[in-house]
Amino acid sequence: MADSDPSASAPAPPRTGGGRKIDLVADKLDSRDLFVGTREITITHGEHSYRLRLTSQNKLILTK
């Protein structure tokens, strides 16, 4: 029987053309995989964009 809970739906397929693949294992990813060759990435969530930055003290800062 199919589950009608929308939160249980399958994740969206990855977008193509990004140039790299990041593996997700047990709902976790390594931040080192995000920051290959850069110290800042942009995350799009719906219509909003967020900046995730790796600081000089190796901390993460997320800003809108």
Q: Which range marks the domain in which residue 58 is found?
A: 38-64
The total domain count for the chain is 1
* Residue matched to tokens 């800062």: 61
Separation CA 19–CA 56 (nearest Å): 26
**Residue 8 belongs to a domain:** no
**Residue 45 belongs to a domain:** yes
For 22-42, write each residue's pLDDT tens digit: 888 888 988 988 898 999 999
Would you say residue 14 has pLDDT above 60?
Answer: no
Count how many residues are written for the chain: 64
**Residue 59 belongs to a domain:** yes
For 49-61, write each residue's pLDDT tens digit: 999 999 999 999 9
Q: Say whether pTM exceeds 0.75.
A: no
